[in-house]
Amino acid sequence: MPGTPPHQPPPSYPPTGRTVPTRSAHRAAYDRESVHAILDAGCVCHLGFVRDGAPVVLPTLYSRVGERLYVHGSTGSRPLRAARGEDAGLPVCLTVTHVDGLVLARSAFHHSVNYRSVVVHGLAHDVTDPDEKRRALDSLVDHAVPGRAADCRPADQKELAATAVVRLDLREVSAKVRTGGADDEPEDLALPHWAGVLPLRTGYEPPVPDSRLAPGTVLPGYLAALGG
């Protein structure tokens, strides 16, 4: 792209046949800023793939490091075993969704949901390099609770051997967002039914200490800032 430094990715992901929605295409976005913001706002994804000829979708933790996603799993889980056995990578579809509100319309047909979502298509690869794996696991912990990786015991060799991580590069990506109120038909606007948005919110509650905390252990500042 003209004017873009060679060491920086273009500002948008190129649309493909798999990332252009067939319905409500006007809600799709491909700019990296929007995609990254949606990914960074969550920590749970759904990873879809085909195993033994049948579709499988698994919820799991993820983190974003630049233009790469890391997905957590067990060494015995299906996608990790499949990714390890595929030299070219395991074809997957990863999704992240935030529900921001329930849209209540005058008609049942026009009820909807305000949401932000990202869909990523690509090839997942098993992370085998020990240093990359440790960095990936730290990023998974910090993505869920910023600052936590430095405030807990790192995984030992046995735990690392029992933990698997796959990486998925952000190349074929799209975001989709729905905002606003009800899209009722003009002839329904006079109906005596309440219409509007019921907002939904996800947040942290005050931390609940473990009953076996060592004497003198205090709530760390990064947790107090979240929900203390």
Which residues lie closer than 8 Å to 95 by C-beta, 6 or more apart? 45, 46, 48, 117, 118, 119, 120
Domain extent for 184: 25-203
How many domains is the chain built from? 1
In a domain, 171, yes or no: yes
- Beta bridge partners, 31, equal 12
In a domain, 14, yes or no: no
Tens-binned pLDDT, residue by residue, of the chain (228 aa): 455 445 677 899 999 999 998 888 889 999 999 999 999 999 999 999 998 899 999 999 999 999 999 999 876 665 566 666 556 789 999 999 999 999 999 999 999 999 999 999 999 999 989 999 999 999 999 999 999 999 999 999 998 888 899 999 999 999 999 999 999 999 999 999 999 999 999 889 999 999 999 999 999 999 999 865
What's 32's DSSP letter? H
In a domain, 219, yes or no: no
* Distance separating alpha carbons of residues 183 and 197, to the nearest angstrom: 11
Cα→Cα distances 75→129, 131, 143, 162, 199, Å: 15, 17, 21, 6, 39
- The tokens for 44 are 């749970």
* Distance separating alpha carbons of residues 116 and 27, to the nearest angstrom: 10
In this prediction, residue 88 carries a pLDDT of 76
Q: Do residues 39 and 64 make contact, with C-beta atoms less than 8 angstroms apart?
A: yes
In a domain, 224, yes or no: no
In a domain, 145, yes or no: yes
CATH number of the domain bearing residue 37:
2.30.110.10
In this prediction, residue 10 carries a pLDDT of 86
In a domain, 18, yes or no: no
* Distance separating alpha carbons of residues 35 and 175, to the nearest angstrom: 6
- In angstroms, how far is the first alpha carbon of the chain from the final one? 46
In a domain, 213, yes or no: no
Q: Do residues 113 and 102 make contact, with C-beta atoms less than 8 angstroms apart?
A: yes
* Distance separating alpha carbons of residues 218 and 207, to the nearest angstrom: 12
Q: Do residues 29 and 174 make contact, with C-beta atoms less than 8 angstroms apart?
A: yes
In a domain, 214, yes or no: no
